[in-house]
Amino acid sequence: MNKRNLEILVGLFVLLGAAALLFLALKAANLTSFASGGDTYTVQARFDNIGGLKTRAPVRSAGVYVGRVTSVTLDAETYQGLVTMEINRGVQFPRDSTAKILTAGLLGDQYIGIEPGGDEQELKAGDTLSRTQSAVVLENLIGQFLFNRAADGPGE
């Protein structure tokens, strides 16, 4: 193998490595889905506590990706977290569906989980999910556990 061929192979290997690093960076930043501008409809949900939910977090139903969070803001009137989501148009949920903020694993990223209801009418663009469950904050659970243990007193 001559020197020129070896240099071409090394160059291709370096390009392949750079492409792999780019893919890994996009995957870690949750940007691998470039088709988010596709056929979607927008719904909103209000939560008392959104925890660490971020923009571009996935929306899942039964563990299957069905959409993405597009914005997380504070509602100035109710002082609740207002989450706007884009749902794939091919997936229709009943109007009485429930939105929950869930965590992937023990300390993983948070996402929205939608549990379908039983209503015959479907969500439309611009609707707001009225049944929500806020994020479980680990620090609050630990504090509540410690408070309850202290209230029980020693020796109980």
Instruction: Indicate yes or no: pTM above 0.75.
Output: no
| Parallel/antiparallel/unpaired status of strands 40-47 and 81-88 | antiparallel
Interatomic CA distance for residues 35 and 13, integer angstroms = 29
Q: What would the DSSP string read from start to end of 13-72?
A: HHHHHHHHHHHHHHHHTT---GGGGSSEEEEEEEES--TT--TT-EEEETTEEEEEEEEE
Contacts for 29 with CB less than 8 Å, ≥ 6 apart: none
Question: Mean pLDDT in runs of 10 for the chain (156 residues)?
Answer: 88 93 79 62 93 91 93 92 94 93 82 92 90 81 82 69
